[in-house]
Structure 1
């Protein structure tokens, strides 16, 4: 399944060189026996800046150049969300292993395509929810598995921070040295707009998944991990929208979502995951900006990737629980796990299915807010029964004839 050259050197191409992409460059370049051979971005300036980190790497504007090079073992994808799955599918078709940033998909349907393609290709896909490779969080989740608070019934996740508005703008001319047509890629072509460009793409339906899919997915993933559910929810409810910012962004600045997981008809079997998001506030629950709380029948756990874990028994008494001294959470251990798995020396910490199950939750929360109603969800068929309007939003429209449009989209 995973194979490399006899030297065990892993040759990597980095696709997308914004802030997170440059972090990928630094991280992969620092791993033992890993060569960063390519740097790819549609922005000339970003390619040049990344080239200062790894001067020997080839700078290319088209990801297909990387995929055509048989020396390349793997790609790391840190593009805008709408390119995550299309780029990953092309890479798998070219026989490359894939590290893809969160969320792994722009929508639910793409996530399923990615899971299927990973299985069919025999190549590895690591999802960029790096908490899965953090010893501190791994130890905390193991405590939950061992019953430190009894069976976990409810998991909370929250993302509370201040993100400034993006203002109001009008279509204009793309900056020189920025290939806007390729940036849009397989998404529907719309005119360039200054506040729908670097980073601000997060807040637009066609290109991003809002902050639920951007930052919130980390806490959502930890919540699902701790809750111990390995399927989709069967009920989704959410309220939210643009409560504060009077600007052009489309995704909510406020959301409260609840996901109920299927029960087997016996008492104690249902599970619930809730997510809160406020992008206009610094009033943090339990003094934690992004965090989690797990509620069990015999206590609760407060957990955050910021290095805090507190366990309370059913009387509310704080318990003294030993945990690893290293409380750091970063991309380097996660990418080392990816490289080790390619070499056949480790199991992926966050494979394609893990990424899909976690990424689907912000997609469904966004969808419930957009529709203004709750709905049932079929975990097996990945459909919303009897609701054509909602089902249509589980996927998206694509540019016909564009080379990045997934083949399964063209076949629909």
Structure 2
């Protein structure tokens, strides 16, 4: 089957399988231009600002960042792409007050994702939020509830759901190519260096530190937090399990066709560089997640050692009772029960409409941003709605909670809530700065 025939034959079938279109479709006129604001534009946000600026029927009106250093270059790139210069602002609330803005794209630090997204929904905006969609499980539930209340489109930035190879793989699994999928092994490896010991210093004049902290409980500015190392502090970040593990955990959950777990265990620590910095999160972690006693997902995170598995720094191995699939973002391999190679598929074979121009990360060869805009315009259904995003992000949260408390978590299969463990339940939510608590 060639690419064009494959796309035609699966476009309708995938909707019935739940492979795509799990979210709602907006009711905007299909020919209307969608106006967006992009918040957090240092790295991923800069990419997204230019990505959205290059989409048909889309305009980036605002680029937003509390660090003024990043605004001019991002604005210049957007202007070059769309032929119109966006406004440069530091406070996202100005964009929420603008009636012309249809959607906000959130690529801020993790502690801002859900509070900003919920505020945007209450202001009548659609939301594209980078993974993870929440800093803690309670925020994820609030985000889902807010989407249901306000009825706007919310897409989480786990862009592998919009890659042709991924969609084709899921369909093949549903069609029985490896029989009953029962186990998924996932991993991520990265050679990160120590971050040193931060010192309390004056806030740089280019940074609005109070607004950067936003919903997080206030603390003094330290020299080794901004712009990236906040990932490794629990006050703002969620560790590698959410920073990168979200992608593979999401694919594993999707492939196995599971929802909420019933049991979660994790061992983890700061093993690579003990006592050499004030990194709080884990640099080495193993998470095991069981679903109903008959399906299992594991995630292995190695943040301080570039150690590939299956010759890959990240990936998913999916075992079924009739075979196996090895998945690597934009391609996968199918094996029979005797581990004989049956087939190889990549995004070029699977989807001729995928963006093949960005070679910096295979996970960026997608049409995730375009799918979001098309959903707002009422043409498509969103590929990664917030309720599905929350279920996948929750797996990483529960893994972190299990490791931080040193306990095995028993969970409610209906919603993932932790049972009979007050210590672990205390980490379900977080402390907020007064007046910044997310509300719907």
Q: Quick check: TM above 0.5?
A: yes
CA distance in 1, matches of 2:31, 2:345: 40
The aligned counterpart of 1:343 is 377
Cα separation, partners in 2 of 1:400 and 1:322, compared to 1, 3 Å: closer
Specify every segment of 5 or more residues in structure 1 that has no aligned partner in the other structure, as ranges: 264-269
SS at match of 1:39: strand
CA distance in 1, matches of 2:311, 2:323: 20
- By how many angstroms is 1:312 displaced? 1.3
- By how many angstroms is 1:323 displaced? 5.5
Q: Out of 106, 118, 136, which is 2:165 matched to?
A: 136
The aligned counterpart of 1:379 is 413
Q: Out of 224, 236, 239, which is 2:264 matched to?
A: 236
Q: Out of 335, 342, 348, which is 1:312 matched to?
A: 335
1:138-177 matches, cutoff 5 A? 138-177=167-206
CA distance in 2, matches of 1:151, 1:314: 12
1:102-130 deviation line (CA, Å, top 9, x unaligned): 00000101000000100110101000000
Given that 1:139 and 1:323 are in contact with CA atoms closer than 8 Å, whether structure 2 keeps it comes out as: no
The aligned counterpart of 1:401 is 435
CA distance in 2, matches of 1:237, 1:381: 17
Cα separation, partners in 2 of 1:322 and 1:44, compared to 1, 3 Å: closer
- By how many angstroms is 1:321 displaced? 5.1
Residue 389 of structure 2 is aligned to residue 355 of structure 1:
yes
SS at match of 2:37: strand
- By how many angstroms is 1:334 displaced? 0.1
Q: Out of 228, 239, 243, which is 1:214 matched to?
A: 243
Q: Out of 67, 74, 85, which is 2:103 matched to?
A: 74
Residue 402 of structure 2 is aligned to residue 368 of structure 1:
yes
1:271-282 matches, cutoff 5 A? 271-282=295-306
- By how many angstroms is 1:54 displaced? 2.5
The aligned counterpart of 2:8 is none
- By how many angstroms is 1:331 displaced? 6.7
- By how many angstroms is 1:382 displaced? 3.9
The aligned counterpart of 2:56 is 32
The aligned counterpart of 1:43 is 67
CA distance in 1, matches of 2:29, 2:367: 22
Given that 2:163 and 2:365 are in contact with CA atoms closer than 8 Å, whether structure 1 keeps it comes out as: no
Given that 2:178 and 2:336 are in contact with CA atoms closer than 8 Å, whether structure 1 keeps it comes out as: yes
**What is the TM-score normalised by the length of structure 2?**
0.88
- By how many angstroms is 1:77 displaced? 0.3
1:343-366 deviation line (CA, Å, top 9, x unaligned): 111111100011100111111111
Cα separation, partners in 2 of 1:54 and 1:311, compared to 1, 3 Å: closer
CA distance in 1, matches of 2:230, 2:387: 26
CA distance in 2, matches of 1:218, 1:207: 20
- By how many angstroms is 1:2 displaced? 1.4
Q: Out of 277, 293, 300, which is 2:317 matched to?
A: 293
**What is the TM-score normalised by the length of structure 1?**
0.93
- By how many angstroms is 1:377 displaced? 1.1
Given that 1:28 and 1:332 are in contact with CA atoms closer than 8 Å, whether structure 2 keeps it comes out as: no
Q: Which segment drifts farther, 126-135 or 244-253?
A: 244-253
Specify every segment of 5 or more residues in structure 2 that has no aligned partner in the other structure, as ranges: 1-24, 80-84, 351-361
Residues matched between the structures, number: 398
1:45-74 deviation line (CA, Å, top 9, x unaligned): 111221111341111111110000111111
Q: Which segment drifts farther, 155-164 or 6-15?
A: 6-15
The aligned counterpart of 1:252 is 282
Cα separation, partners in 2 of 1:134 and 1:6, compared to 1, 3 Å: closer
Cα separation, partners in 2 of 1:193 and 1:326, compared to 1, 3 Å: farther
1:107-118 matches, cutoff 5 A? 107-118=136-147
1:89-104 matches, cutoff 5 A? 89-104=118-133
CA distance in 2, matches of 1:363, 1:331: 27
- Across the aligned residues of Structure 1 and Structure 2, the Cα RMSD in angstroms comes to 1.5
1:18-37 deviation line (CA, Å, top 9, x unaligned): 10110111100000121100
Given that 2:156 and 2:389 are in contact with CA atoms closer than 8 Å, whether structure 1 keeps it comes out as: yes
The aligned counterpart of 1:83 is 112
Cα separation, partners in 2 of 1:7 and 1:309, compared to 1, 3 Å: closer
- By how many angstroms is 1:7 displaced? 4.0
Cα separation, partners in 2 of 1:101 and 1:148, compared to 1, 3 Å: same
CA distance in 2, matches of 1:95, 1:345: 20
